[in-house]
Chains A and B, each alone.
Chain A
Amino acid sequence: MNTVVLGKMRCGGFTGRLQADWRKAGLQKSGWLKTVNAVSGRFGSAGLWLAGALLLAGCSDQAWNNPHPESEASANILYSSFSERPKHLDPARSYSSDESRFIDQIYEPPLAYDYLKRPYELIPNTLTAIPDIRYSDAEGNEVDADSENIAFSTYHFQLQPGIRYQPHPAFALNKNGESRYLFASAAESAQYRTLDDFTEQGSRELLAEDYVYQIKRLADPERLSPVRALLSDYIIGMTEFSQMVSEARKALEEKAGKQAWLDLRQLSMAGVEAQGRYDFTIRLKGKYPQFKYWLAFHFFAPIPWEVDRFYHQPGLAERNIVLDWHPVGSGPFMMTRNNPNEVIILEKNPNYRADYYPSEGMPGDAEAGLLDDAGKQLPLLDKVVYRLEKEAIPLWTKFMQGYYDRSGIASDSFDQAIRVSSDGIGLSPEMMEKGVSLEKEVVLGSYYLAFNMLDPVVGDKGDAKSRERARKLRQAIAIAYDQQEMISIFANGRGEVAMSPIPPGIFGYQSGEEGINPYVFDWVDGKPQRKSLEEAKRLLAEAGYPGGRHEKTGEPLVLNLDTPTGGGGGSAMQNWMIKQFKKLNIQLNIRGTDYNRFKEKMQTGNAQLFQWGWLADYPDAENFLFLQYGNNGQVISGGSGVNSTNYNNAEYNRLFDQMQLMEDSPQRMEIIRRMIAIMQRDAVWASGWHPHSYVLNNHWVRNVKAHGISKSVVKYFAVDTEKRRQAQAAWNEPVLWPIFVVAGILLLALLPGYRAFRRRQQRRIETMLVANVSTTNKEQEG
């Protein structure tokens, strides 16, 4: 068998090579070959179109399996993927990391995070400086930041002049300086089927009133902003504004119909005001130090009123031409294609402001090449292409073929990508040979197994004695549940046991001996060691369940775990969990349920044990410790709180109230330590872990540094397109011998059939001739 492996080829080149290979194989135009040709001509031509189509792909320089258009071969593009189609791209509505990864490249809130510095540091984004904050008492007198009489906080923002929005039809003007695209009816806009049909575009300068307009949009109940309720507690006049908007909209709809656009500029919000072209203020009730982090969220990105009006024109929403799908911003990229069913494309915003790659980083950043592009104008890419990839295998294969520049690691591919040894976790030899680099980070979040404190068996209810017993039961379970083993088995070691809700990298996290949970671990030989099972059994006995049975009734202790993963306990993970409880002779009943019902159970407090997780909004301990704050209890708050355990400890609550108003300081650290000690003692969480994120980068990708909070990082990325082109060509040479093997097998199968067919045709004719002859003879004889 001749093996034919051809690389890049052109049409003419291919046919020439093919004939040469046939000649090499000694297949001249012999009689045998003629027969083959005859057979294939008769029976195979219909099927050969597929081979023809395959060979047509050889008409270009591009590898045959390249999923990207040939025109992009040498373009400065980053190829990435998304697995979940974004639901909302409106910065007032979007609240998911799947959506932030797109819109955070487009929208520019006032603040941003430094890309390279750790711990995470806020820097001005569109501002000239970090906002100036002034505090005042109830009478309006200015007071110090640490005063106890703070009644109001006033944030003053000064914008950089000259920032311009991306080109967009909403800014297009006619000769009279009026909006080019204004439609009185749906019929007028009917010719515009997609956003691309609006051929004229314009731009304008970013103004302070655009930020004010967006904050008003956040307050508009129609926008369904997830942060409206939270911000209404702080921004002065926001609640009243929401009411005002509802009434104004109702009146407008009665007058002009449901699609009418409500100009929010006509309504004012007491706490938000544009004082000039470039400066505006936000006034808050009291002191809210975490507000600065919200200012780095896309919720506070500017929306020009022209854009809001443009998308509210009659007929456009019926064709999905809405702000929720077609964002408009002043950021480094603009969305030029949004087909969430297939591809989302971001292109460099030609109007992007003067923004440069940072020249300072952390120790080691320069050695890692992270400062090589220091001082260069951002963004470094011309385009970012995100393709929908719902299945893990194609995604991984395309990364390995060089068609995606970056990739996460699915469990199936972990062994291929990562080698775990006594030296730690590193890349496998295959990855190292390809020049792939590994980007590791601790995700700012926690997954946990927790108790519902309202439950009569495991919760914090009843008299002091029963509460103490339940506490010991929870502590016993916390010791028996080997979280490290779970991470090793089910997460390929990608995570670390959570001693508290606060993950590494956040102020309040403590490593080493002082950071361990002393109710579950001992510090032995310089590392934490889980307490013995005997200790857990002792606590269980003290809790009233010696040997896992009720001390009076003798009935086995049965606990119910609610999990949103579904299934009934048959999965390996669930079996493992049952085994953990079995160590204490506790029977665990796993109640798998769909996510909706699970959330309903959480909302009503109808659970005993449950598994859930939390990903941080911002890098502050408050954003983790409020998971146990009493007022945030799901049941108390009617489902809107984040404290699913419904834990309500007076001392913890008091310390939380104190801590959340403080800036990071040794005093704040001490309070956090006390809070953690309280929840550790009460064993609110049976166990928890902070996952690690592993991302692989092909060797042509530069300037990649994991950032746990910010998604606005693509502007720093760079790719070496020539290296990528070479690698793609080398890694994807088409292997052609299977085509010939298949064709050969088909011919071999057809050949005997064809001969048999010919014989059969021949035999019939012969038979008929014989029959005719014998008939003639008989006639003659007769």
Chain B
Amino acid sequence: MLAYIIRRLAYALPILIGVNLLTFALFFMVNTPDQMARVQLGDKHVSEEAIEQWKAQRGYDKPLFINTAENSEGLLTDTIFFDKSARLFVFDFGKSDEGRVIGADISERMWPSLAVALPTFIIGISVNIVFALFVVMFRASMFDTAAMVLCVVLLSISGVFYILGGQYFFAKLWHLVPISGYLGGTDAIRFLILPVIIGVVAGIGGGTRLYRTLFLEEANKDYVRTARAKGVSETAVLFRHILPNGLIPILTSVVVVIPSLFMGSLLIESFFGIPGLGSYTLDAIQAQDFAIVRSMVFLGSVLYILGLILTDISYTLVDPRVRLS
């Protein structure tokens, strides 16, 4: 397995370089370093000298990909691309265009992201699985049909609608929770209730439909029929037989997102004013802060690759027949 993991990590390197290259190309097609400097320096009294100084301070005074003024290795290494990319691979994110240390910001903001994403993820998965099992239990009944209609309805509603509706009813009309914001420590619970409820409810439609399909496939297999024939109760059939076997495909969609939980949710964090990494990324895009965007895209890619590797490893844990080679 170790050899497999090392090989996968080695495959990840060119992917990360490619992602980084693409981010660079896209960003600099839209924004030149001069424009970035002007954004940061403001509108009034911006001199050319100040722009040059800003670029020099942040290393944007070099050529983008190829430095024709340099010889040998300097041709490629003394460039913005190499300068900014090389450090990313040791997770040195450097400073944002406005001067803050990105690594310090990420380590500070990932906790609020996790505080929202983790309970949403765990409760969401649990609710979806339980609901899907119920639907499977009453398959081909009115309950099944009604549940599927409900799922399609839930699936069709925009995420923003859930957020605005939730804020309107729970916070504005009924005064049950704060409408937005975030406080540290145990105070955070009050602010997390509504985002978590909304995150869970918004995910029920899609999650339940997927898991129902997976469980139905299992429910029609011989071993389930055998279990029933032996007089095993329906609850036991569902939870002891169908669920463990149905978990294997579920892992594909679940484990891969676990590392990405750190990255937070763009929508939820922005609307609820939660200072996590999702809103950090969104703010950076709006402010055209390339240093942060680049770092977050890189981090997202790393976590996604990590998620895929974890998924493969988890297969071997839940299904002894699977071997990584």
Interface set of A (CB-CB < 8 Å, partner B): 46-47, 50, 53-54, 56-57, 63-67, 69, 85, 87-88, 95-96, 221-222, 224, 226-230, 317-320, 322, 324-325, 339, 341-342, 387-391, 393-394, 397-398, 401, 594-597, 599-600, 617, 638-640, 642, 732-736, 738-739, 752-753, 756-757, 760-761, 764, 768
Interface of B is mostly: helix
> For residue B54, which residue of chain A has the nearest CB?
A224
Which of chain A's residues have a CB closer than 8 A to the CB of B197?
50
Among A65, A597, A599, A639, contact of B177 (Cβ-Cβ < 8 Å) = A65
B144 to chain A, nearest CB (A): 11
Q: Flag if B174 contacts A735 (CB, 8 Å).
A: yes
Q: Flag if B187 contacts A69 (CB, 8 Å).
A: yes
Q: Flag if B46 contacts A753 (CB, 8 Å).
A: no
Q: Which residues B111-129 have CB closer than 8 A to chain A?
A: 126-127
4 extra interface residue pairs, beta carbon distance < 8 Å, beyond A54-B193, A222-B53, A401-B179? A325-B100, A638-B48, A640-B48, A752-B143
Q: Flag if A390 contacts B47 (CB, 8 Å).
A: no
Known contacts being A317-B101, A341-B280, is A393 close to B164, with CB within 8 Å? yes
Which of chain A's residues have a CB closer than 8 A to the CB of B89?
none
Query: Could you name 29 residue pairs across A and B whose Cβ atoms are closer than 8 Å?
Result: A57-B190, A65-B178, A66-B178, A67-B180, A95-B44, A221-B49, A222-B53, A222-B57, A224-B41, A224-B53, A229-B45, A320-B101, A320-B105, A324-B99, A339-B275, A341-B105, A388-B275, A390-B273, A391-B270, A397-B172, A398-B180, A732-B175, A733-B175, A734-B175, A734-B176, A735-B174, A739-B176, A756-B141, A764-B234
Q: Flag if A397 contacts B271 (CB, 8 Å).
A: no
Known contacts being A226-B46, A596-B39, is A318 close to B104, with CB within 8 Å? yes
Which of chain A's residues have a CB closer than 8 A to the CB of B233?
761
Total number of residue pairs linking A and B with CB closer than 8 Å: 173
Interface membership of B82, Cβ < 8 A: no
> For residue A613, which residue of chain B has the nearest CB?
B43
In the bound assembly, the distance between CA atoms of A595 and B137 in angstroms comes to 57
Which of chain A's residues have a CB closer than 8 A to the CB of B180?
67, 389, 391, 394, 398
In the bound assembly, the distance between CA atoms of A640 and B52 in angstroms comes to 13
In the bound assembly, the distance between CA atoms of A600 and B174 in angstroms comes to 50
Q: Flag if A642 contacts B231 (CB, 8 Å).
A: no
The 8 A CB mask of B285-315 against A (1 = contact, 0 = none) is: 0001000000000000000000000000000
A281 to chain B, nearest CB (A): 25
Interface membership of B145, Cβ < 8 A: no
Q: Flag if B183 contacts A226 (CB, 8 Å).
A: no
Which of chain A's residues have a CB closer than 8 A to the CB of B108?
339, 341
Which of chain B's residues have a CB closer than 8 A to the CB of A393?
164, 167, 179
Which of chain B's residues have a CB closer than 8 A to the CB of A390?
270, 273, 279
Which of chain A's residues have a CB closer than 8 A to the CB of B181?
67, 387, 394
Q: Flag if A640 contacts B234 (CB, 8 Å).
A: no
Interface membership of B134, Cβ < 8 A: yes
Which of chain B's residues have a CB closer than 8 A to the CB of A229?
45, 47, 49-50
Interface membership of B38, Cβ < 8 A: yes
Interface membership of B35, Cβ < 8 A: yes
B23 to chain A, nearest CB (A): 18
B183 to chain A, nearest CB (A): 6
Interface membership of B83, Cβ < 8 A: no
> For residue A734, which residue of chain B has the nearest CB?
B175
Q: Flag if B176 contacts A757 (CB, 8 Å).
A: no
Which residue, A387, A394, A752, has most C-beta atoms of chain B within 10 A? A394
In the bound assembly, the distance between CA atoms of A761 and B279 in angstroms comes to 50
Which of chain B's residues have a CB closer than 8 A to the CB of A319?
101, 104
Which of chain B's residues have a CB closer than 8 A to the CB of A391?
180, 270-271, 273
Interface membership of B29, Cβ < 8 A: no
A6 to chain B, nearest CB (A): 11
In the bound assembly, the distance between CA atoms of A401 and B47 in angstroms comes to 46
A491 to chain B, nearest CB (A): 21
In the bound assembly, the distance between CA atoms of A652 and B137 in angstroms comes to 86
Which of chain B's residues have a CB closer than 8 A to the CB of A600?
35
> For residue B187, which residue of chain A has the nearest CB?
A69
